[in-house]
């Protein structure tokens, strides 16, 4: 096992990793920007080191400074959390060159899944069901028309280098295709320096279902079921649950096995998520995230597994401590992402927290780096807390969520808590009746422009 690791992140996820490391008896180094000198992750780690000015590009994304921080503190490994450098293959390469272990998959696997055409091609060959679409990249508008005509409209043009919903354009009918094709290419060129695009059948009312997988890097892998993350705003998940309300055990075992076998086959190491759109009982692969996800706690809750500890163990060359046959689900878990944002427009709302009280009690987990007196800086993502609740049934979890939201006190800034209070009044949410467009449509109804 490592004696010391560095966490190249901030906020609640940095705390999450520090907690796992502490339980393993591993010392921790926090890195921080000048804006985060008073942040909770700095207080909770055994040591801390400043890596640059406030902007993410100059601090949490600053590879030379992070490497220097490892060398100064003697950290043997780096956990990247999510976001920032977590899916940056070059960073993994640089760490390797400095004999520092990356707590995550290999640079080759990150690259493979970071390029969506390669990812889809790989998954298809591994027997994972994919969205029907072009065979690889589409270079000309003539080819785009040919592929789309064969498939039938609507289609979606997607950037192979895409991420965060950018470089993705819908063509409802044939006459929209020229514009969708050229916009997707130019957006992708501007955002990612790569204008390669591909075309997929557009699924009209799918759910977002993702499968948690975990590999030991030596050809053994397990799955930890699915999460339903269909409630999204601008392609950002806001409410996640496990198990998926529409997935039965047989379906779970079937798709789970396909996913676990696929990553075992490529000798994937660590945690990963295989994302699908799910429509009419069929799964369609869209992408794989080669890191820990924001919503991992719902899976941890129902399986009773600490995914971060397992990540650290496997990176240190130890065995993962679970086998597929030992993994089983207990109850239901829901996570809501609480942002410092002002409704109805979700305007970021940084500022000083005057009072903070986290909910507690049975079945309540609060992953947050907030404390009273803390000032949320304006430079980063507005996620300030993840509230995760569980219950024996989905209904019990929903009742607990309502109760826990009522206990939470965050004074000083606006938060998205009222959104969840309102969603918990909605019949569709209570029944689990939603697809990936449900929340956007509901928001439009609340605030017609």
Active site amino acids: 291
Residue 67: CB atoms within 10 Å: 19
The secondary structure of 334-367 as a DSSP string is EEEEEESEETTTTEE--EE--EEE---STTEEEE
Q: Is 196 one of the binding residues for ligand ADP (CB under 6 A)? A: no
Q: Is 203 one of the binding residues for ligand ADP (CB under 6 A)? A: yes
- What strands, in cross-sheet order, belong to the sheet with 47-52? 47-52, 27-33, 4-7, 77-79, 101-102
Q: Is 156 one of the binding residues for ligand ADP (CB under 6 A)? A: yes
Q: Is 17 one of the binding residues for ligand ADP (CB under 6 A)? A: no
Give whichever of 204 and 446 is closer to ligand ADP, judged by the CB atom: 204
Measured from the CB of residue 233, what is the shortest distance to ligand ADP in angstroms? 11
Q: Strand, helix or coil at 293?
A: coil
Give whichever of 75 and 113 is closer to ligand ADP, judged by the CB atom: 113
Beta-bridged to residue 388, according to DSSP, are: 335, 365
Query: Which one, of 326, 323, 269, 331, lies nearest residue 299 by Cα?
Result: 331
Of residues 216-235, those binding ligand ADP (CB under 6 A) = 235
- Contacts with ligand ADP by CB under 6 A: the residue count is 18
Burial class (CB in 10 A: 0-12, 13-18, 19+), 376: buried
Give whichever of 295 and 306 is closer to ligand ADP, judged by the CB atom: 295
Of residues 372-411, those binding ligand ADP (CB under 6 A) = none
Q: Is 91 one of the binding residues for ligand ADP (CB under 6 A)? A: no
**Residue 225 — left, alpha, or beta (φ > 0 → left; ψ -120 to 50 → alpha)?**
left
**How long a stretch of residues is the chain?**
449
Measured from the CB of residue 145, what is the shortest distance to ligand ADP in angstroms? 18
Q: Is 286 one of the binding residues for ligand ADP (CB under 6 A)? A: yes
Q: Is 128 one of the binding residues for ligand ADP (CB under 6 A)? A: no
Of residues 158-187, those binding ligand ADP (CB under 6 A) = 162-165, 168
H or E segment and range at residue 326 = none
- What strands, in cross-sheet order, belong to the sheet with 197-201? 166-171, 155-163, 197-201
* 84/295 Cα distance (integer angstroms): 16
Measured from the CB of residue 150, what is the shortest distance to ligand ADP in angstroms? 16
Measured from the CB of residue 115, what is the shortest distance to ligand ADP in angstroms? 11
Give whichever of 144 and 370 is closer to ligand ADP, judged by the CB atom: 144
Tell me which stretch binds ligand ADP (CB under 6 A): 142-150, 156-164, 306-314, 388-396. 156-164
Q: What is the contact surface with ligand ADP in residues (CB under 6 A)?
A: 131, 156, 162-165, 168, 200-203, 208, 235, 275, 277, 286-287, 436
């Amino acid at each position: 096992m490592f004696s010391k690791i560095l966490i190249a992140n901030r906020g609640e996820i940095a705390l999450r990793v520090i907690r796992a490391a502490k339980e393993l008896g591993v010392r921790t180094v926090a890195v921080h920007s000048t804006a985060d000198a008073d942040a909770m992750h700095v207080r909770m780690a055994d040591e801390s080191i400043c890596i640059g000015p406030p902007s993410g590009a100059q601090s949490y994304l600053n590879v030379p400074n992070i490497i220097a921080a490892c060398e100064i503190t003697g950290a043997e490994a780096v956990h990247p959390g999510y976001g920032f450098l977590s899916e940056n293959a070059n960073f993994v390469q640089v760490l390797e060159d400095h004999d520092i272990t990356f707590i995550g998959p290999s640079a080759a696997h990150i690259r493979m899944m970071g390029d969506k055409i390669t990812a889809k091609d790989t998954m298809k060959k591994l027997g994972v069901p994919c969205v029907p679409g072009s065979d690889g990249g589409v270079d000309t508008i003539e080819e785009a028309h040919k592929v789309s005509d064969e498939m039938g409209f609507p289609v979606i043009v997607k950037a192979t280098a895409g991420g965060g919903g950018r470089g993705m354009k819908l063509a409802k009918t044939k006459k929209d295709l020229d514009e969708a094709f050229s916009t997707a290419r130019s957006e992708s060129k501007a955002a990612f320096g790569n204008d390669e695009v591909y075309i997929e059948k557009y699924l009209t009312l799918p759910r977002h279902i993702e499968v948690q997988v975990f590999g030991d890097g030596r050809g053994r892998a397990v799955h930890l079921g699915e999460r339903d993350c269909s409630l999204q705003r601008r392609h950002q998940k806001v409410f996640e649950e496990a198990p998926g309300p529409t997935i039965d055990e047989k379906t779970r075992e079937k798709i789970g096995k396909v996913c676990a076998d696929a990553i075992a086959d490529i000798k994937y190491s660590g945690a990963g998520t295989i994302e699908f759109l799910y429509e009419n009982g069929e799964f369609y692969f869209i992408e794989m995230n080669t890191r820990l996800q924001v919503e991992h706690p719902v899976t941890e809750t129902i399986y009773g597994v600490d995914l971060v500890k397992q990540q650290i163990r496997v990176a240190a060359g130890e065995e993962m401590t679970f086998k597929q046959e030992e993994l089983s689900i207990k109850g239901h878990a829901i996570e809501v992402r609480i942002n410092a944002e002002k409704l109805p427009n979700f305007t970021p709302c940084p500022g000083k927290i005057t009072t903070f009280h986290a909910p507690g009690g049975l079945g309540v987990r609060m992953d947050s780096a907030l404390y009273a007196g803390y000032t949320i800086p304006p430079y980063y993502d507005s996620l300030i807390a993840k509230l995760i609740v569980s219950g024996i049934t989905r209904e019990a979890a929903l009742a607990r969520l309502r109760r826990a939201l009522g206990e939470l006190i965050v004074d000083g800034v606006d938060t998205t808590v009222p959104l969840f209070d309102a969603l918990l009044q909605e019949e569709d949410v209570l029944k689990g009746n939603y697809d990936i467009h449900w929340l956007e449509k509901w928001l439009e109804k609340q605030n017609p422009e």
